[in-house]
Amino acid sequence: MKNLRVILFLGIALVFGACSTQPPMLIKDSVTIADGTVSGSFDESTGITTFKGIPFAAPPVGDLRWKAPQPVEPWEGVKECTEFSASPMQATPMPFSMWTQEFIAPKEPLSEDCLYLNVWTPAKDATEKHPVLVYIYGGGFSSGGSAVPIYDGVEMAKKGLVFITINYRVGTLGFLAHPELTAESPNNASGNYGLLDQVEALKWVNKNIAAFGGDPNNITIAGQSAGAFSVNYLVASPLTKGLIHRAIAESGGAVLSTNALARGGSLKSAEEAGVRFAESLGASSVEELRAKSTEEILSGAGLRNPIVDGYFLPKPVSEIFANGEQIDIPVIIGWNEDEGFGGAPVPAGQFKERVKQLFGDKADEFLAKFPLKTDEEAFAIQNDLGALQTFGIQSYKWMQLQNKKVTSKVFMYRFERDVPYADGMSDFGAFHTGEVPYAYNNLKMSPRPWTEADYKLADLMSDYWVNFATSGDPNAEGLPAWEAASPDNLKAMRFNSTSACGDLPSIELLKFLDTFYSN
């Protein structure tokens, strides 16, 4: 009898033990994802766990050079992910012009083996569901990397996001098209490998981010410059349907063919350029090209432009948006006041002659609208034109098309804060990329002489970005109201030492450019 009681007791204990709920594994210890287990680094002072250098695709080397990203080889044991991976192959990153070191990828390591991402999470375990923001770097599709200091994710994670930065292939290694590459592709396409890397990273996020306490049903993509062009391409591509839920495009877009990054040339013309590239290196086949060293590939004429490849991008972005075929999600879009690349402004008389070259048979219409009576007026409008022709007009047209064909809201902005500069730096005003350390609350990554007004602006902008990633609306109690923009409500948030939503700046010039580029 006694033995029977013991057996019954043990049996009941085993049953209850099997049914009891074990506490979830702490993210700061390790995270198990589809391909294996990873460990990161936990900071007691911030409560944030950081994972750096997680592979999201196989290394695109050897026979995988110029192929769509392939699956990661699963691993045994725990992969330590505490250091950034190599940045993609490119010319040695060096500070230049207004872009000091905090805006630039590290000089090394650089490698074709670069398809890795980084995760910052505030979650303690996988039961939490934080909104997710995936940041895509700029660099003209020819440079950049996820290890740039101002892309650090700690501060955004402290505000409640799971923040992710990704690498993608750039330059010729990311965008070469060639008839042989098209023929060997199961998708009958070549080029756009850097954009396909971004899609693969988003697939990884959807599949794995819940293990880091992120919500796979609440993913925002954000990017600046080429990253913003990427965001526009991703929103237009049929390959991202179901993968993204909101988008932020800072200084970039491809709804108008205003420059090479937005032009979306044909696959055929890109293939012809690829053949010429191969011939310039003495290669008569893709096999011979793949045998070339990375240094030899980088020595050739760089190819870096996204194209209409018939797969990632079945049609030009302008046509996709005009037909309302893009993903219908809320967006934040905008530009910076002083981000033109037109060189030093010229006096009014000289600029009037330049206007004739710029606008052809619409030059008289331009001069009638903007008479340029003084050199000061000419200087001001040249500054506006520099920012609008590549960046501002894309935001304006995107807003128009979104309001015309789909239902999700558009929130527009212009960043107008003159970024402080230290001894040895120059005053570039509200320059291209200048908003990034503000939007992601990363002023601490820079030695610039920030003031209290700068820190307040960074806190405000990052709050808006977090709110938007959380709900699709940047507004919240205690913040200046930010109205959605439409052709009937031309409003934008003007970010400066005092920020407020007001009339869309440079509207008459935007309307002229819209007419000019749309015809």
Average pLDDT, the chain: 93
Q: Which of 143, 339, 462, 506 is catalytic?
A: 339
Q: Please return the burial class of 396, using the count of CB atoms within 10 Å of its CB with bins 0-12, 13-18 and 19+.
A: buried
Record the tokens describing residue 387, joined without a space. Answer: 């920012």
Give the model confidence (pLDDT) of 407-464 as tens digits: 999 999 999 999 999 888 889 999 999 999 999 999 999 999 999 999 999 999 999 9
Q: 347 φ, ψ to 5°?
A: -60, 165
Q: Long-range contacts made by residues 339-344, C-beta under 8 angstroms, separation at least 24? A: 339/251, 339/386, 339/387, 339/391, 339/430, 339/431, 339/432, 339/433, 339/434, 340/382, 340/383, 340/385, 340/386, 340/387, 340/389, 340/390, 341/386, 341/390, 341/432, 342/382, 342/385, 342/386
CB 486 within 8 A of CB 362: no
Task: Provide mean pLDDT across the span 287-308.
Answer: 93
Give the model confidence (pLDDT) of 394-421 as tens digits: 999 999 999 998 999 999 999 999 999 9
Asked if pLDDT for residue 146 goes beyond 50, the answer is: yes
Highest averaged pLDDT of the listed ranges 2-11, 243-252, 294-303:
243-252
Give the model confidence (pLDDT) of 71-111 as tens digits: 999 999 999 999 999 999 999 999 999 999 999 999 999 99
Q: Check if 285 is active-site.
A: no
Q: Please return the burial class of 25, using the count of CB atoms within 10 Å of its CB with bins 0-12, 13-18 and 19+.
A: middle
Tally Cβ neighbours within 10 Å of residue 425.
14
- Evaluated on CA atoms 195, 137, 400, 340, the torsion sign reads negative
Task: Provide mean pLDDT across the span 143-164.
Answer: 98
Q: Which of 130, 178, 245, 432 is catalytic?
A: 432
- Among residues 71, 394, 423, the alpha carbon closest in space to that of 256 is found at 394
Q: Which of 146, 225, 251, 462 is catalytic?
A: 225
The vertex-517 CA angle with 512 and 518, nearest 5°, equals: 100
- Percent of the chain whose predicted confidence (pLDDT) is above 70: 95
Record the tokens describing residue 304, joined without a space. Answer: 């870096």
CB 288 within 8 A of CB 477: no
Tally Cβ neighbours within 10 Å of residue 285.
11
* pLDDT for 23: 63
Asked if pLDDT for residue 187 goes beyond 90, the answer is: yes
Mean pLDDT lowest among 41-50, 210-219, 346-355: 346-355
**259/169: higher pLDDT:** 169
Which helix H or strand E contains 34, and what residues bound it? none
293-326 burial: b if 16+ Cβ within 10 Å, else e: ebeebbebebbbbbbbbebbbbbbbbebbeeeeb
Q: Check if 432 is active-site.
A: yes
Asked if pLDDT for residue 494 goes beyond 90, the answer is: yes
Establish how many alpha carbons lie within 13 A of residue 382's alpha carbon, considering only the half-sphere containing its beta carbon. 22
Q: Check if 245 is active-site.
A: no
Which helix H or strand E contains 351, and what residues bound it? helix 348-359
The Cα–Cα gap between 454 and 243 comes to 34
DSSP 3-state of 356:
helix
Record the tokens describing residue 215, joined without a space. Answer: 């919500």
**339/12: higher pLDDT:** 339
CB 406 within 8 A of CB 324: yes
What pTM did the predictor assign? 0.94
Establish how many alpha carbons lie within 13 A of residue 135's alpha carbon, considering only the half-sphere containing its beta carbon. 29
Tally Cβ neighbours within 10 Å of residue 135.
24
Asked if pLDDT for residue 252 goes beyond 60, the answer is: yes
Asked if pLDDT for residue 493 goes beyond 70, the answer is: yes
- Evaluated on CA atoms 71, 297, 168, 329, the torsion sign reads negative
Task: Provide mean pLDDT across the span 374-398.
Answer: 94
- What lies within 8 Å, CB to CB, of 22 at 6+ separation is none
The Cα–Cα gap between 260 and 304 comes to 9
